[in-house]
Chain A
Amino acid sequence: MENESKITYTMQKKRRDFMKTLGAGSGAFFVNPTTIFGQRPVKEMGKIDTEAYQKRSYDTDVLIAGGGMTGVCAAIAAARNGAKVILIQDRSRLGGNASSEIRMHISGSSQLKQVWRETGILEELVLTEAAENQQKSYEMWDFILYDKVVSEENITLLLDTALFDVEAGNGKIQKVKALCSQTEELYEISARYFADCTGDGTLAAKAGAEFMQGREAQSQWGESLATAEPDLKTMGNSILFMASPHDQEMPYTPPTWARKYGFKDFVHRKISSFEYGYWWIELGGMVDAVKDGQAIRHELLSVVYGIWDYIKNSGNHPDAKNWALSWVGMLPGKRESRRIVGDYIMKQDDVQSPKLFDDRVAYGGWPLDDHPPEGMDSTGIEPYRSIPLRGPYSIPFRSLYSKDFNNLLMAGRNISVSHVALSSTRVMATCATMGQAVGTAMAYCYKHSISPATLVQDHIKQLQQTLLRQDQALLGVKNEDEQDLARQATVKASSETTDGAAINVIDGVNRDIADGSTHQWRAEMNAATPWVELRWEKPVTINLIQITFDTGLQRFLRISGQAWVLAEQERCPQHETIANYTIEGIINDKKQVLHQAEGNYLRRVEHHFEAVEVDAIRINVEKTHGDLLAKIFEVRCYQEA
């Protein structure tokens, strides 16, 4: 263990190169990181290295524990806002419950059937996936997450790395300790800010932060959906499966330990298709969803194989005779375990009768969807009770940091919510938006050397404006960014529809918010190339233009194993989105091309260029992905240092 090397992160080093050459994380590399791109570092092979489990130390601005959808979005957000980030993930793949290891849907506010698909980093990820993974491969979805993370120069990604200890004192976390068995390394990572995105609240619990577990009684906070008496029961874990049809009969023999099922076990649980397993294959709520995990996994497998035995051999599903299992999860997806206590605890009323929290940084829209803890141990009970919501609700920042440690934040299903509120906030799209909020906030706190509580008190408007600019899913926040020069411009266009005035691109709202306005410029594509122009009274100098396009936020868009879920999506660039466009700068009536784009499929794009003085800028729309209208929600212009 004495062979300890101190690694100090430097922004100058190309992290992507670092990752490409990291290989097995050899000690030699850390001592001498100079490599030629594409070549492995040369290691002296003269003698056997007798040390197993060598200690490595890191120091960073921000440590994020957990590489599920929440942690991924948190890491990317913190990195893009200038913080140096170490992201540790205890699996070889990113994405957690959404990864190929579990394959649960990234559910969220699309369930409202309104306009509220989440934006921001999550939207960037799923738009990329829809466009670049048209083969619908779950493993390629994992890779898209990997690519997005390792492409951020500020992120150091440590895969297969499990947190096992925390050093904390005086209301601060100092460092975490983690282990990678693949590389036989023990990491000690000190950081200024820590984010618990583990889902289980492992970091916070190990540090000694107060957390909640189980179900609160109705009397505690007056929640009608709560239980009469408090208990330690939770929603359970799930294992999914996938199956595919073949050209011949595919017989199936279950393992001897598979459970047996009959028709009446499915009174509340429908077997509607075979290609993708069922969320109601759920167990573990009556025991400890974390500590009894080994037994829960085996029991879940006995349920999965028992149900497949029923499908194949009961005779009740003759159309399954050519079907065979192609994949069965081994990692249970968890719904609920610890909930860390923050400065505010969200409750049923905050979800069901929502108000706009002053410190809102994200939103949710999944129903209050609680599952009975018995799961598949009691098939006579309905597997869920879902209370639909009237619209989205805001999530306060005060529920996203620990009340006990002033540099500990959290996002995901382990935030400061009641059990009842968790039944809505727990879904991954909502968690991912919390991740972006927390990542952005940590970078902000680091930059200003403040605690999250101080941020809420004195800086929340600035944080909200930063989040909005970066397309975070937010409610009731308009663009008031004084640095945005577009807000001072006059706007005109080659043409506009009656419901798509050009001025909408600077109306401060970057999406449909179901208020009767489109909040976007719209122009017919059938004429000559439509354009929208922003013109200033006096010339301005700009080096950055940001545009927000339409990506059909009224639809669901997520990878899925379920055929009908995919069939309702556009598994390609979204037809509303502008694909090809040219941005011109105009000075003294002379035009200069600032940027030319082809094949865009993203909602938010940012184009940097050499600073230029312009009287106006013009965006010429050459092609959409099929829409007959050119649509732009927002244009922002900046001169950045």
Chain B
Amino acid sequence: MMLRRLAISIIALGFLSFFQEKPQLLRKEKAFDTYIKDSIPIRVDLIYADEQPHQYFSLVRTPVCEDDLCYLITIEIYWDLLGNFIKYELPPQEPLTKFDHIEFSEDDYTKLNEILADRGSLLKDYEAKDLVDPTTSIKSEVEVDAVTSATYASLKGAVVSGAVYSTHTLWHIVNGRVAQQILQHTESLYDDQMLTMMLNSDHFYYQYYALEHMPAVVSDGLIPGLIRLVAEGQQYIPYFAVEKFPEKVWQPGGNQSELIALLPDVAFEMQNTLLARLKDQKLNEQSALTLISTFNKFNDEQLHKALTMIYYSCDSLSTEVLLEFSYLLTHQNQEISALAYRILERRSDESENIQKVLSAYEN
């Protein structure tokens, strides 16, 4: 395992942070002092990257006790600005060990990382002693006298095997009161700059936090960031972002065309969401053309909705635009072909080309 210590308070190096891959000027300063396990003092630092709050850090020395036997763990812990665990690092000479003093394997370290990152772990509501079955025992393969109780089969996924008490202790340090205090500390620093940083980040939790803390009146400067989240956001982020759009975004004079241009690439449910939100809007020439160019990405129901939008705007669209979907006259779905016919027929007096298309179809 590659071990690294962050020992100086100002570092300028090609440090790859967890979500920004560019060299940054890092500096850290004390954020607050607090306690773990009610009595062990620790200091939590806020690391700034390019003078912006970046992540939190603490060097923790804690005893881990199993019955009367205690040993010391030294560990560096990193949290994001919302108190979510990012990673841990260990001093080179102080690896983590199991009940029989065997060092953690690579898999154990990976598993520990996963466990510490799970804020909803059942460790939150289990005491360590309740995770192990006192009526059973496992013996060390290497140390003759080393014996400990086995973890209950139904709970063993929640801990690193052979290191129940270490896992439990570390989880509560990482996800306990300190995490809450970090969030409170960040909130005391929260301003428009941090909102913009979080909105524009690629970090799911930051994006979600920014959307949750969006001002009631969204300024124009935030709109590109919101549209980016609709296009690129993970899971449900796009749907929360869409809710934050001011009404003008949907209008022809706003970002209508830009949103329609997203249709081919967004998820199916987001296509439906966008179509539903756009259905009462008039389309301008540009928007209509963009929409028609995405028709091949739609199922019949979506196509019918999109064509209905064209229908309500057709009086103000050029006949050239309308001819773009004349191929729909032969669509196998009669509702769609009939609607296409209805739109073209409405403007047939104005266009010989439309008349030709309709007459060819009728014949």
A contact residues vs B (CB 8 Å cutoff): 112-114, 224-225, 262-264, 267, 314-316, 318, 352-353, 368, 385, 387-391
Contacts and interface: CB of A to CB of B under 8 A. Distances in A.
Nearest to A266: B236
A318 B235 CA distance: 20
A316 B126 contact: no
B280 interface: no
Given A315-B301, A315-B302, A264 B240 contact: yes
B236 A267 contact: yes
A464 to B, nearest CB: 22
Contact of A316 (B125, B130, B235, B272): B272
Contacts of B359: none
Contacts of B122: 387-388
B236 A224 contact: no
A391 B301 CA distance: 50
B243 A352 contact: no
Contact of A113 (B154, B155, B235, B276): B154
B239 A315 contact: no
Nearest to B268: A316
B301 A112 contact: no
Nearest to A225: B125
A10 to B, nearest CB: 52
A109 to B, nearest CB: 12
A389 B126 CA distance: 10
Interface in B128-146: 129-131, 133
22 contacts: A113-B154, A114-B154, A225-B125, A263-B236, A263-B239, A263-B272, A264-B239, A267-B239, A314-B269, A315-B275, A315-B276, A315-B301, A316-B268, A316-B269, A318-B299, A318-B301, A352-B125, A352-B130, A353-B129, A387-B122, A390-B133, A390-B152
Contacts, number: 59
B180 interface: no
Contacts of A113: 154
A368 B125 CA distance: 10
A113 B243 CA distance: 41
B273 interface: yes
B265 interface: no
Contact of B126 (A114, A267, A387, A391): A387
B29 to A, nearest CB: 32
A262 B272 CA distance: 10
B127 interface: yes
A264 B243 contact: yes
A366 B7 CA distance: 48
B305 interface: yes
A112 B154 CA distance: 8
With a 10 A CB-CB cut-off, give which of A114, A267, A316 has the most chain B CB atoms: A316
Contacts of B153: 390
Interface residues of B, number: 30
A117 to B, nearest CB: 16
Nearest to A382: B120
Nearest to A352: B130
A264 B305 CA distance: 21
Given A114-B154, A263-B269, A316-B268, A224 B243 contact: no
Interface of B: 120, 122, 124-127, 129-131, 133, 152-155, 235-236, 239-240, 243, 268-270, 272-273, 275-276, 299, 301-302, 305
B229 to A, nearest CB: 13
A315 B302 CA distance: 8
A498 to B, nearest CB: 24
Contact of B154 (A267, A353, A388): A388
Contacts of B120: 385
Contacts of B127: 353
B204 to A, nearest CB: 12
A262 B130 CA distance: 42
Nearest to B157: A388
Contacts of B240: 264
Which residue, of A224, A262, A264, A368, has the highest number of chain B Cβ atoms within 10 A?
A: A264
A2 to B, nearest CB: 61
Contacts of B302: 315
A262 B275 contact: no
A470 B176 CA distance: 48
Task: Find the residue from B127, B154, B155, B275 having the highest chain A CB count within 10 A.
Answer: B154
B273 A353 contact: no
Given A352-B130, A353-B127, A263 B155 contact: no
Contacts of B131: 390
Contacts of A385: 120
B154 A391 contact: yes
Nearest to A265: B239
A312 to B, nearest CB: 11
B126 A352 contact: yes
A391 B236 CA distance: 36
A112 B240 CA distance: 36
Given A353-B130, A388-B154, A389-B154, A264 B125 contact: no
Q: Which A-B residue pairs are the 6 nearest by beta carbons?
A: A390-B152, A264-B239, A315-B272, A353-B130, A267-B236, A316-B269
B302 to A, nearest CB: 6
A389 B269 CA distance: 37
B168 to A, nearest CB: 13
A272 B130 CA distance: 35
Contacts of B154: 112-114, 388-391
Contacts of A224: 124-125
Contacts of A114: 154
A264 B126 contact: no
A263 B233 CA distance: 14
A316 B239 CA distance: 13
Contacts of A368: 125
Contacts of B275: 315
B125 A387 contact: yes
A263 B240 CA distance: 10
B348 to A, nearest CB: 31
A612 B216 CA distance: 87
A302 to B, nearest CB: 20
Nearest to A316: B269
Contacts of A264: 236, 239-240, 243
Contacts of B236: 263-264, 267
A266 B302 CA distance: 21
B73 to A, nearest CB: 23
Contacts of B273: 262-263
Given A315-B305, A390-B155, A262 B125 contact: no
Nearest to B120: A385
A453 B198 CA distance: 62
A368 B124 CA distance: 13
Given A267-B239, A315-B272, 19 more contacts: A113-B154, A114-B154, A263-B269, A263-B270, A263-B272, A264-B236, A267-B235, A267-B236, A314-B269, A314-B272, A315-B301, A315-B305, A318-B299, A352-B130, A353-B127, A353-B129, A353-B130, A389-B154, A390-B152
B124 to A, nearest CB: 8
Nearest to B302: A315
Nearest to B133: A390
A262 B240 CA distance: 10
Contacts of B155: 388, 390
A352 B152 CA distance: 12
Contacts of A112: 154
A267 B131 CA distance: 31
A222 B73 CA distance: 28
A267 B238 CA distance: 12
A314 B271 CA distance: 11
User: Which of B131, B240, B269 has the largest number of chain A CB atoms within 10 A?
Assistant: B269
A387 B268 CA distance: 34
Nearest to B275: A315
Max count, chain B CB within 10 A of own CB: residue among A112, A225, A391: A391
B123 to A, nearest CB: 10
Nearest to B129: A353
A359 to B, nearest CB: 22
A557 B305 CA distance: 45
